[in-house]
């Protein structure tokens, strides 16, 4: 089992670049195709804790579901936003690379170098 995992969307260029960067460093992460294997609320809470960010910071604001579900409303709780990300996984910013208790967003892909050191 790999020490690294990546929430990956193969159709996303940044996600592909981040995976390639890991592989260039000899790392074969566990690949989580989060659009097919949608994380549950507890998994997303754990990811947010490892990223050390609030749920709103993990939202893709350009997705249709963001507008359709009224997620721009800043009074919405983290619990509600997490529920929406579970329901509409396209809302989850990608890629997310996890190593142990730490995680980074691969935007830009070079962010993962902080986990490799």
Q: Point out the residues that are catalytic.
A: 12
Can you tell me the distance from the alpha carbon of 102 to that of 99, in angstroms, rounded to the nearest whole number? 5
- Taken as a whole, the chain contains a residue count of 117
- Sign of the dihedral defined by the CA atoms of residues 63, 64, 67, 68, in that order: negative
Beta bridge pairs of residue 104: 97
Residue in the structure block whose two tokens are 């947010």: 48
Phi then psi dihedrals of residue 47, to 5 deg: -65, -45
Can you tell me the distance from the alpha carbon of 14 to that of 66, in angstroms, rounded to the nearest whole number? 20
Residue in the structure block whose two tokens are 């396209």: 90
């Amino acid at each position: 089992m790999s020490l690294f995992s990546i929430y990956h969307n193969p159709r996303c260029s940044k996600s592909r670049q981040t995976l390639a960067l890991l592989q260039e460093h000899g790392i074969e992460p566990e690949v989580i195709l989060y659009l097919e294997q949608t994380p549950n609320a507890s998994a997303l809470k754990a990811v947010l804790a490892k990223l050390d960010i609030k749920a709103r910071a993990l939202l893709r604001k350009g997705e249709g579901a963001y507008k359709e579900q009224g997620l721009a409303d800043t009074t919405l709780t983290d619990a509600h936003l997490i529920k929406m990300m579970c329901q509409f996984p396209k809302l989850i910013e990608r890629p997310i690379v996890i190593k142990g208790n730490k995680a980074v967003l691969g935007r830009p892909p070079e962010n993962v170098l902080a986990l490799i050191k």
